[in-house]
Amino acid sequence: MTVLVHPTALKDHKVRDFRMLIDGRWEEAKGAPIDRIAPSHGVMVSRVAAGTKSDAERAILSARRAFDVGPWPGMTGAERSAVLLRAADLIAARAEELAYLDAIEAGKPISQVRGEIAGSVDIWRYAAALARTLHGESYNTLGDGTLGVVLREAIGVVSIITPWNFPFLIVAQKLPFALAAGCTAVVKPSELTSGSTVLLGEILMEAGLPAGVVNIVTGTGPEVGAVMTTHPAVDMVSFTGSTAIGRLTMANAAQTLKKVSLELGGKNPQIVFPDADLDAFIDAAVFGAYFNAGECCNAGSRLILHASIAGDVVRRIADHAAKVRVGDPLDPETQVGAIITPQHLEKISAYIDGAQKTGAEVTHGGETLNFGMGQFMAPTILSGVQPDMAVAREEVFGPVLSVLTFQTREEAIAIANSIDYGLSAGVWSRDFDTCLTIGRKVRAGTIWMNTFMDGASELPFGGFKQSGLGRELGHHAVEDYTEIKTLNMHIGARTSWWVPKG
């Protein structure tokens, strides 16, 4: 039985109207605004400007001017770092306001979002440090007549497109690194969860960012995002979202050969051997599957259990899952909040129905929860899942855990690698050889060993295969927003190529 935290009617909530930031000015859209209905409470909580193609074009040209003739790219690393540090301090000062917006617009538990905002502050401060340490190379080993210098220069104008599941955290994984490198940007948050990103625009202006360096255009992907991925004045696109839209983004950017960074979907396995610390694993399995209601590209949505322990482990996970608190995201005790839209809830339910029809068994949950408002899904466990089932291969993006079994280490690796995704994976064993072998053989960008979904600003994040291109976070993240330029300097007289006859 799931522990329910019933949402109560919102009190003293004032619907907030959010405008766009273009060239340092706050602007309304010409068309009707987009109303956001809270997924947890079923009432309107915000309105955002429905940006148009022309709004996106103006924002891009503003960022282009700010890069070509503005002060930001030419500022010292120390000067850019100071602005990013002020922004981090202002984010921390407005943390509760930002957390409330993400909780109410995305249906995320407020305690979880507070952690995400704190993590974002750390990322901004880390990026600020990288602004001062970004450097090139020099080569004085090319002979007495040559000195080579390799520069890292800001790539230019970056289009940043972020999803609804981590509205503030994901923009923090992109924007401060682009700014640290000296780039300018146009940011499009999801139309479902734009509030905290618009507030970030206020924070950046207060921190002293020059006009036009960051522009924020709200609206839909077809209207705004399409322009941001095709416009010739954009040099790079950084996108987080579904693999399907990532392919479209890459195709759009290819028209003008833009650099592309993509953080896409995942179907992440946790491989568990009989010698594992099962107490620690059970907690990690429940956390990995149901954190953020499973609406997480890094969710541990596939358990690959050794057959000898599968029955006992599934029973223990079900007992643990029954204690997870589901419901009102504004209650600090809630662990699983609302599903983002009614349509997405239907999609999750369809995956569960399809799995049952092909032979899987619902061991726990499986039902939608009726609170009389909003949309919620019980934490769900599907046993008897086979590697060829859709629920074992496709990203459900909900609180659904698929359980598969294996007999040998080689079989576990084959199952883990048998799908199109390669974002992350976990391995649980007290044997170092087992952990290291899995870590080297499973094709994924992050392999956790005896833990799951830990992270730090210093550690790169990104995927193999159709989970994306490039890496966010880590010291290489700022380099992604640069181009390399070679200065080949000749010293002294140059030997003539033309040798006269006789």
Q: Are residues 300 and 428 in the same domain?
A: yes
- Cα separation, 253 vs 276, in Å, equals 45
Q: Are residues 169 and 307 in the same domain?
A: no
Q: Are residues 239 and 335 in the same domain?
A: no
Residue the block writes with tokens 């010291």: 475
DSSP 265: -
- Cα separation, 276 vs 278, in Å, equals 5
Mean of the per-residue pLDDT values for the chain? Answer: 97
Structure tokens at 451: 């833990």
- Cα separation, 63 vs 24, in Å, equals 10
- Cα separation, 285 vs 401, in Å, equals 9
Decide if 212 contacts 36 (C-beta within 8 A). Answer: no
Q: Are residues 326 and 206 in the same domain?
A: no
Decide if 234 contacts 60 (C-beta within 8 A). Answer: yes
Q: What is the dihedral of CA 43, 48, 53, 58, to 10 degrees?
A: -170
CATH code at position 113 = 3.40.605.10
- Cα separation, 401 vs 352, in Å, equals 10
Decide if 18 contacts 189 (C-beta within 8 A). Answer: no
pLDDT at 288 over 80: yes
Q: Which domain holds residue 293?
A: 269-449
Catalytic residue among 105, 116, 191, 263: 263
What is the arithmetic mean of pLDDT over 174-178? 98
DSSP 176: H
Q: Are residues 260 and 273 in the same domain?
A: no
Structure tokens at 406: 């294996």
Q: Are residues 245 and 341 in the same domain?
A: no
Domain presence at residue 44: yes
Each residue of 178-220: pLDDT tens digit?
999 999 999 999 999 999 999 999 999 999 999 999 999 999 9
- Cα separation, 306 vs 251, in Å, equals 41
Domain presence at residue 27: yes
Q: How many domains does the chain have?
A: 2
CATH code at position 296 = 3.40.309.10
- Cα separation, 149 vs 295, in Å, equals 46
Supply the pLDDT for residue 380: 98
Q: How many Cβ atoms sit within 10 Å of the Cβ of residue 39?
A: 29
What is the arithmetic mean of pLDDT over 493-498? 80
- Provide, rounded to the nearest whole percent, the portion of the chain with pLDDT above 90: 95
Domain presence at residue 419: yes
The CA–CA distances, whole Å, from 185 to 104, 181, 402 equal 27, 11, 39
Domain presence at residue 3: no
Question: Would you mind telling me the total number of residues written for the chain in this entry?
Answer: 502
263 is catalytic: yes
- Cα separation, 404 vs 239, in Å, equals 31
- Cα separation, 100 vs 9, in Å, equals 15
Domain presence at residue 108: yes
Burial of residue 226 (number of CB atoms within 10 Å: 0-12, 13-18, 19+): middle
Burial of residue 345 (number of CB atoms within 10 Å: 0-12, 13-18, 19+): buried
- Provide, rounded to the nearest whole percent, the portion of the chain with pLDDT above 70: 99
DSSP 396: -
Supply the pLDDT for residue 434: 98
- Cα separation, 353 vs 345, in Å, equals 12
Domain presence at residue 497: no
Q: How many Cβ atoms sit within 10 Å of the Cβ of residue 220?
A: 15
Q: Are residues 69 and 164 in the same domain?
A: yes
List % helix, strand, coil for the chain (3-state, nearest 5).
40, 25, 40
Q: Are residues 244 and 385 in the same domain?
A: no
Decide if 412 contacts 406 (C-beta within 8 A). Answer: yes
Closest CA to 158 of 477, 470, 468, 481: 481
Supply the pLDDT for residue 496: 78
Q: Are residues 211 and 358 in the same domain?
A: no
- Cα separation, 358 vs 9, in Å, equals 40
Catalytic residue among 297, 395, 435, 472: 297
pLDDT at 502 over 70: no
Q: Are residues 358 and 413 in the same domain?
A: yes
H/E element, 434 = helix 432-441
What letters, b where the CB count within 10 A reaches 16 and e where it falls short, cover 320-329?
bbeebebbbb
435 is catalytic: no
H/E element, 159 = strand 157-161
Domain presence at residue 398: yes
Supply the pLDDT for residue 443: 98
Q: Are residues 159 and 75 in the same domain?
A: yes
Each residue of 116-172: pLDDT tens digit?
999 999 999 999 999 999 999 999 999 999 999 999 999 999 999 999 999 999 999
pLDDT band per the 50, 70, 90 thresholds, residue 498 = confident
Structure tokens at 452: 């799951």
Domain presence at residue 459: no
pLDDT at 56 over 70: yes
Residue the block writes with tokens 């799931």: 2
- Cα separation, 183 vs 178, in Å, equals 5
What is the arithmetic mean of pLDDT over 293-319? 98
**Strand intervals (E) in 345-396:** 361-364, 368-369, 376-377, 380-383
Q: Are residues 306 and 426 in the same domain?
A: yes
Compute the C-alpha angle 355/357/361, nearest 5°.
Answer: 55
pLDDT at 9 over 90: no
Closest CA to 73 of 171, 238, 221, 185: 185
